[in-house]
């Protein structure tokens, strides 16, 4: 990747990213936003699969992308739902489901952040 100290080069580079996101959202692409309060401590995000005994979260989403906002770290992760589902399948085989959510009424999968950023 080319680096530059030029404000105009950096501005152009940043605007290309903004244009990409604007194009993504204007065509009806759906994005689900999740704020994770523990990821900054655990290094994992929690992906809900069931809530109160019913399929939910990644099992039922209509979104094309998920954004995880990592509380207290000032960053977020954007991942396609397809990639996230693929990672969930692998991690489910390794670790199974974990209780979580409001009053531990949900079951989900813990995903190491580094698997999403690969």
Confidence check: pLDDT of 6 > 60 = no
E strands within 1-118? 31-36, 44-51, 54-55, 65-70, 75-80, 98-100, 106-112
The confidence band for 39, taking pLDDT boundaries of 50, 70 and 90, is very high
The confidence band for 98, taking pLDDT boundaries of 50, 70 and 90, is very high
| Residue in 10, 6, 98, 113 with CA at minimum distance from that of residue 68 | 113
User: What pLDDT is recorded for position 9?
Assistant: 62
Structure tokens at 92: 């489910």
Q: Does the predicted model carry a pTM greater than 0.75?
A: yes
Instruction: Return the number of other C-beta atoms located less than 10 Å from residue 105's C-beta.
Output: 12
The confidence band for 37, taking pLDDT boundaries of 50, 70 and 90, is confident
The confidence band for 11, taking pLDDT boundaries of 50, 70 and 90, is low
């Amino acid at each position: 990747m080319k680096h530059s100290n030029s404000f105009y080069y950096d501005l152009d580079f940043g605007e290309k990213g903004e244009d990409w996101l604007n194009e993504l959202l204007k065509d009806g692409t759906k994005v689900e936003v999740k704020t994770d309060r523990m990821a900054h401590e655990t290094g994992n995000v929690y992906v809900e699969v069931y809530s109160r005994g019913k399929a939910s979260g990644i099992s039922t989403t209509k979104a094309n992308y998920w954004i995880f906002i990592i509380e207290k770290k000032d960053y977020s992760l954007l991942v396609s739902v397809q990639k996230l589902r693929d990672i969930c399948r692998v991690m489910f085989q390794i670790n199974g489901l974990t209780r979580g959510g409001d009053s531990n009424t949900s079951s989900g999968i813990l995903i190491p952040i580094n698997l999403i950023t690969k």
